Structure 1
């Protein structure tokens, strides 16, 4: 298990994204994409509260950029399944 709190959050986020991708591959794309979006929103929250010296792999760019980018991406992925109508067949 990683030592830094940020790396632990990163690992949890990675597992959540992989789980979402598996759900998408199994045909449950709405749940999978929504789960990936939630993982990014949680990652953005974690990036905002974890101190800079404990961010580890969670830190990619500057703090503000990481938080804004992960939040925008996460919210977009959570909203996406609700915007696409069901397809017949």
Structure 2
């Protein structure tokens, strides 16, 4: 398998793998751990988007940098807070 050339595309693929692993955790029982993993991967992708240069963002770039960082950060923090606040 050939890896993508841009750093952002590699990070995006890692993000997708983390989301897939989180969905497997949700489906097999420990749903809190799965939701936290998905949220943490969004937070990590948002942090990566802030430091990767524009010509290396690849698939990680959806809109402008500010939009991407705010939206992925909001989703990540919301999912982590949701997993911790919902009673079992």
- Specify the TM-score bucket, using the shorter chain as the normaliser: over 0.9
Q: How far apart are 1:82 and its partner, in Å?
A: 1.2
Larger Rg belongs to: 1
- Structure 1 gaps, min length 5: none
Q: How far apart are 1:45 and its partner, in Å?
A: 0.5
Q: How far apart are 1:27 and its partner, in Å?
A: 1.3
CA distance in structure 1 between the partners assigned to 2:14 and 2:68 by the alignment: 17
Which residue number corresponds to residue 85 of structure 1? Answer: 87
Deviation beyond 4 Å, 4+ runs, structure 1: none
Q: Does 74-83 or 34-43 show the bigger shift?
A: 74-83
**Structure 1 position 47 matched with structure 2 position 52:** no
Which residue number corresponds to residue 69 of structure 1? Answer: 71
- Structure 2 gaps, min length 5: none
CA-atom RMSD in angstroms: 0.5
Per-residue Cα deviation, 1:53-79 (whole angstroms, up to 9, x for no partner): 000000001110000000000001111
Q: Residue 4 of structure 1: which of 3, 6, 9 is its match? A: 6
CA distance in structure 2 between the partners assigned to 1:64 and 1:81 by the alignment: 26
Q: Taking structure 1 as the reference length, what is the TM-score of the superposition?
A: 0.94
Q: How far apart are 1:81 and its partner, in Å?
A: 1.3
Number of aligned residue pairs: give it: 86
| 3-state SS in 2 of match to 1:61 | coil
